[in-house]
Amino acid sequence: MEEWYELRALRRSDALQIRAAAALSGRRGPVAPARTVDDLDRRIIEELQENGRESFRRIASRLGVSEATVRARYARLTSAGILQVVGVTNPLGLGFEQALVGVKTSGPPDAVADEIARWPEADYVVVTAGQFDVVVEVVASTRRDLLDITNRMRGLAGVVSTETFFYLEMWKQLYDWGTRDA
Residue in 11, 2, 12, 25 with CA at minimum distance from that of residue 79: 2
What's the confidence (pLDDT) of residue 19?
45
**Contact, 56 vs 6, CB < 8 A?**
no
Count of all residues that appear for the chain in the document:
182
pLDDT in tens, 29-60: 555 555 678 999 999 999 998 888 999 999 99
What's the confidence (pLDDT) of residue 4?
38
What's the confidence (pLDDT) of residue 177?
67
What's the confidence (pLDDT) of residue 90?
77
Query: Domains in the chain, please, with CATH?
Result: 39-79 (1.10.10.10), 97-166 (3.30.70.920)
What parts of the chain have a pLDDT lower than 50? 1-23, 27
Classify strands 159-166 and 122-127 as parallel, antiparallel or unpaired.
unpaired
- pTM recorded for the entire structure: 0.66
d(C-alpha 18, C-alpha 149), whole Å: 20
What's the confidence (pLDDT) of residue 69?
96
**Contact, 9 vs 15, CB < 8 A?**
yes
